[in-house]
Structure 1
Amino acid sequence: MDMSTPALLENYVAGQWVAGNGERTALTDPVTGDTLAYVSSAGLDLDAAFTFARETGGAALRALSYGERAQRLSQIVATLQANRDEYYAIATANSGTVAADSAVDIDGAIYTLSTYAKLGASLGDAHTLLDGAAVPLAKDASFAVRHIFRPTPGVALFINAFNFPSWGLWEKAAGALLAGVPVIVKPATATAWLTQRMVADVIGAGVLPSGSLSVICGSAAGLLDRIGPFDVVSFTGSADTAATLRAHPAFAERSARLNVEADSLNSAILLPDATPGTAAFDQFVREVAREMTVKSGQKCTAIRRAMVPIEHFDAAAATIAERLAKTVVGNPRNESVKMGSLVSLAQKRAVLEGIAALQTEAQTLYDGNRDAAFVDADANSACVAPVLLGLRDGAAGKRVHDTEVFGPVATLVGYRDLDEAVTLAKRGQGSLVVSLYGNDALAMRAPALALADAHGRVHAVDPSVAKTQTGHGNVMPQSLHGGPGRAGGGEELGGLRALRFYHVRSAVQGPAALVEALTQDAAELPK
């Protein structure tokens, strides 16, 4: 693909490609600093965009059955697979990711869409989803009630983060489109190119009804002002921004639904029986090092706090540092590089400031930046090498339990007993995921249950699943993605559970014959 002449990426709204007519924002290569493209959303007719999506796109999607919409997801999968090589090139240039990290985003999105295509096919020709059995409301059962789900007659607005321009769109859109709800996506500006290109390919393939999918690149100004009572918004980003969104009249007054995925201080816990030299200890070390370096630590599910019994602190510190020292950092175009850059110089500054803040209470166990020799990249690039910090007495810490550094950074935290480990994990005030590493699966039951109320996902690993476990940070479409408290309180994925966010549940009360007739052209939504 030709990247020599930066182009203005157009927006797709109201069934048309439209260029913004205001100030442009440059998208850059985080390694070389080269300008790759420009974006602008100025001058768009947002009222027309939202009306067209609701009335034209929504009506056309709802006219299809769940099975037919699932077929459209399969066609999207085929379209994306046909263009994978170009997506990888865009990710390398705009996100600074090595091929393996680009795969997490691009192939992860394709797998998620494929999964929902299969799940949706199981709903067949249904246009309505049933929620449980009919319940008599009269002694003679002549009058009854049945709860049903119908697609919300609004639009789904996605305000996405910079770290997953592909998966961030499609893991949300899979559920929305299958539900019959049109999508408008506003990708993070820094890495909007990949999102915009994927939307362009799907629109060009003609696999969706007009108005089903729109993309707006640039400023988000004015988007929430168009959100009505039947619209839904899914936001991925900082807790501070999420707090601002929640106060917007769209939610505070018009009661539109808002799903939030925000900050998360995820933990990995080495259980007391996983002593150095055991398989579980080795798995813990591998997973911590891997989660620090995959996508340069720019994952909402990455391990931020690695908790170990105090007596194993030194052994864990040495073995994790040894693995990190083998990480080759630099320009992702060089085949020897195993970890690319952060997505921008702004993110680099934020990460370095975050490291400095944590260093005020934690010691530095390993810092790859001290003698950094980035491959085919210099100090002006957005490259940052892995940094492992340590706090032997985890209970004495404050910042390590409330400061998320969104990069290749983690803190090794010592604990005295398992009860303290659970307490320390919960000091994150709600997280997306916590992982447990031990040699006895049954011994994981108590901590798994104790941690479940503060985490969206509990990921347990013993030696029997070392080769089959899906990874602490990998979000599988069959599992819930989200978390309580600080993590945003949202829920995504989880198989067909994802459909509930895009539906309105209603109780239909009436004569038994009517209630029975509701089962026609309907399918039970799996629990």
Structure 2
Amino acid sequence: MRTFDGIYVAGTWRPGRGERIEVTSPATGEVLGYVSEATADEVGQAVDSARSALHDDWATYSPADRAAALGRLADAFETRKNDFAELFSAEVGTPRRASSFVHVMSTLGALRAYEKIGADYPFDEVRPSMVGGEVRVRGLPVGVVGAILPWNAPLFTACLKLAPALAAGCTMVLKPAPDAPLAVSLFTEVIEQADLPPGVVNIVSGHAATGEALVTHPGVDKISFTGSTAVGARIGALCAADIRRCSLELGGKSAAILLDDVVLDDKTIGGLVGGVMGNNGQICVSRSRILAPRSRYDEVVAAVGAAVGELVVGDPSDRTTDVGPLINAAARDRVERYVAQAVDEGARVIVGGARPDGFDTGWYVAPTVLANVDNSMAIARDELFGPVVVVIPYEDDVDAVALANDSEYGLAGGIWSSDTARANRIAAQLRVGAVSINSAPALDCGAPFGGFKKSGLGREGGPEGLSEYLEFQSIIS
């Protein structure tokens, strides 16, 4: 049981006045811990704390000092990696055999990446002026950042925002999702172990009202949000009303294109299945649409169906489990509605399609493969966030690209082929932010990540991610 009552402000937990939020296991329903709902006034206290730190201690840190602080954060986090892996498995439902990679190593990777990027970034450079003389270009911290986090990868997404923001010289107020706030709250112990100045990182928990108080607070200079497109649109509108900067990493409905020369070996099938079923299907970059050449359609459906049918559904704490529960009852019910609608529209269930037997508690959905799916069906167009993959036939490369791009989203994609040059040519035609070739979805923290179209605004990762937390000033002489 972990309890984090109140708000984390200026380096300490302060008692809160808001109601307690009960955090339960998605596998068993047991209570894992509690956090407190932050009031608007308490959000203001956190913002004031971040503002004071921005102008006091943190302002004295050079880029090298800030990079070193990120290194200390990474070192401190690494000493607690097993504690966090267990907690992620408990509160998110990620199978324990995968939580160390999905959550812990990705978080560590973000911190380590910005330790290096922050030390090397050109915050102050002189360029030749186009009108004679010189131009000094300075990258200045945008200021106080409010970060609103998702529940599916709470600490990784936190550090994908926190690390570049701190490297840029900003301070931050984090708001974790109410379904999974415990790991983010526990991270305060890492912050203290790394000896960050008080107030550089502050935490307020809560539901939508807490998030809206943070988004609309006049002391916040930028909002960084990861979550659904609908909520992102609301946040974007609120920020636009005050001309407040924002970055939005939103939904996806990504496609994995199997070219007609693909070899359906264990590596390929394992990558395809992992690209959908990882974290119980609750990943924004899920390649939940498999596009297969019509000439090999039945072969692909059979191979993917056989592999998914062998996945072990179970308690996420059991290291033999491949797929655990969804985060809550609403998530499970939503996935079931979409599958039922697809079947009514003519889709064929190859495997799964119902709740697995033997689970009287927890929010489980059997890993599901659907064939005979048309790209116009809701299940092929809407983000499900569950262990469901649809297999859609295509005629030729032109048709495959058109189907992949026929989506309101543009977050990610994948190409599988024996000819990597051909795969690269196809990848370059996709209107998405990241494409993997012959591999399961991956995010390189040294490269930009983000979406086209309704998948969001801005980029995370790489120097481009750091630039999102800077204002640029030109001094011409």
Same fold (TM over 0.5): yes
Pick closer, same or farther for the CA change 1:244–1:381 going to 2, 3 Å. Answer: same
Q: Is 1:335–2:319 an aligned residue pair?
A: yes
- 2: CA distance between counterparts of 1:20 and 1:357? 44
Which runs of no fewer than 5 residues in structure 1 stay unpaired?
462-470, 511-527
Give 1:101 shift: 2.6
Q: Is 1:346–2:341 an aligned residue pair?
A: no
Q: Could you tell me whether the CA contact under 8 Å between 1:62 and 1:151 is conserved in 2?
A: no
Alignment of 1:71-470 (within 5 A): 71-103=68-100, 104-123=102-121, 128-130=123-125, 133-137=127-131, 141=132, 143-152=133-142, 154-198=143-187, 200-219=188-207, 220=210, 221-228=212-219, 231-248=221-238, 251-274=239-262, 278=263, 283-368=267-352, 370=354, 372-374=356-358, 378-391=359-372, 394=374, 397-451=376-430, 454-461=431-438
Larger Rg: 1
1:46 aligned partner: 43
Give 1:56 shift: 2.1
1:33 aligned partner: 29
Q: Is 1:506–2:473 an aligned residue pair?
A: yes
- 2: CA distance between counterparts of 1:35 and 1:267? 37
Give 1:58 shift: 4.8
Q: Could you tell me whether the CA contact under 8 Å between 2:76 and 2:194 is conserved in 1?
A: no
Q: Which amino acid aligns with 2:112?
A: S
Q: Secondary structure at the match of 1:167?
A: helix
- 1: CA distance between counterparts of 2:216 and 2:355? 50
Q: Could you tell me whether the CA contact under 8 Å between 1:270 and 1:436 is conserved in 2?
A: yes
Which runs of no fewer than 5 residues in structure 2 stay unpaired?
none
Large movers: runs of 4+ above 6 Å: none
Could you give the per-residue CA deviations for residues 109-166 of structure 1, whole angstroms, max 9, x where no partner exists? 012211221232335xx7x333x722142xxx3x4433331222x2111101110012
Q: Secondary structure at the match of 2:429?
A: helix
Could you tell which deviates more after superposition, 353-362 or 342-351? 353-362
Could you tell which deviates more after superposition, 482-491 or 361-370? 361-370
- 2: CA distance between counterparts of 1:109 and 1:42? 25
Q: Could you tell me whether the CA contact under 8 Å between 2:356 and 2:364 is conserved in 1?
A: no
Could you give the per-residue CA deviations for residues 455-508 of structure 1, whole angstroms, max 9, x where no partner exists? 0012223xxxxxxxxx43221102221111121133111x22211111111221
Q: Secondary structure at the match of 2:411?
A: strand
- 2: CA distance between counterparts of 1:354 and 1:444? 31
Pick closer, same or farther for the CA change 1:344–1:17 going to 2, 3 Å. Answer: same
Q: Secondary structure at the match of 2:174?
A: strand
Q: TM-score, normalised by structure 1?
A: 0.85
RMSD, matched Cα: 2.1
1:466 aligned partner: none
- 1: CA distance between counterparts of 2:4 and 2:173? 19
Q: Could you tell me whether the CA contact under 8 Å between 1:269 and 1:306 is conserved in 2?
A: yes
Q: Which amino acid aligns with 2:16?
A: G
Pick closer, same or farther for the CA change 1:443–1:92 going to 2, 3 Å. Answer: closer
Pick closer, same or farther for the CA change 1:193–1:9 going to 2, 3 Å. Answer: farther
- 1: CA distance between counterparts of 2:346 and 2:139? 50
Could you give the per-residue CA deviations for residues 415-446 of structure 1, whole angstroms, max 9, x where no partner exists? 01111111111111232111111111222243
Q: TM-score, normalised by structure 2?
A: 0.93
- 1: CA distance between counterparts of 2:45 and 2:28? 39
Q: Which amino acid aligns with 2:69?
A: R
Q: Which amino acid aligns with 2:159?
A: W
1:524 aligned partner: none
- 1: CA distance between counterparts of 2:346 and 2:401? 20
Could you tell which deviates more after superposition, 213-222 or 184-193? 213-222
Could you give the per-residue CA deviations for residues 71-91 of structure 1, whole angstroms, max 9, x where no partner exists? 111111111111122112212
Q: Which amino acid aligns with 2:456?
A: G
Q: Which amino acid aligns with 2:270?
A: R
Q: Could you tell me whether the CA contact under 8 Å between 1:22 and 1:40 is conserved in 2?
A: yes
- 2: CA distance between counterparts of 1:176 and 1:156? 8
Q: Secondary structure at the match of 2:77?
A: helix
- 2: CA distance between counterparts of 1:217 and 1:371? 32
Q: Secondary structure at the match of 1:506?
A: strand
Q: Which amino acid aligns with 2:365?
A: V
- 2: CA distance between counterparts of 1:384 and 1:496? 39
Q: Which amino acid aligns with 1:508?
A: I
Could you give the per-residue CA deviations for residues 248-298 of structure 1, whole angstroms, max 9, x where no partner exists? 1xx223211111111100110011222xxx36x654422221122211010
Could you give the per-residue CA deviations for residues 335-383 of structure 1, whole angstroms, max 9, x where no partner exists? 3322221122222122222322333435233333558345xxx233112
